[in-house]
Amino acid sequence: MDRYQLEDLDEKDLIVLQRIATDLAGNSFFKTGMALSFAKAEEQAKVTYLSALTEQNWMIIRQLSRLNKNIEKLLEK
């Protein structure tokens, strides 16, 4: 998380971020297994990446919501 300066994220966002990291870490197993399996590991990798993007989108939505609330508070002053 330090790599992307995400240490100040809300606890909910950290949970989502952990799921994203887990999804992406799982892709390395698919890359290794591609040579050993007749299954379409690349298709599963695509699904995993899309899942991670979806999780990231939810995180961005939450962060934008927080920003919007802060802007509204500033405008009320």
What is the chain's Cα-based Rg? Answer: 17
The secondary structure element, H or E, covering residue 2 is none
For 41-45, what is the mean pLDDT?
76
pTM reported for the whole predicted model:
0.57
Q: How many domains does the chain fold into? A: 1
Is 13 contained in some domain? yes
Q: Whole-angstrom distance between the N-terminal and C-terminal Cα of the chain?
A: 34
Q: Is residue 1 part of a domain?
A: no
Residue 26 included in any domain: yes
Question: Which of 13-17, 24-28, 57-61, 73-77 is the most confident on average?
Answer: 73-77
State which residues form the domain around 63. Answer: 9-76
Q: Could you tell me if residue 71 is inside a domain? A: yes
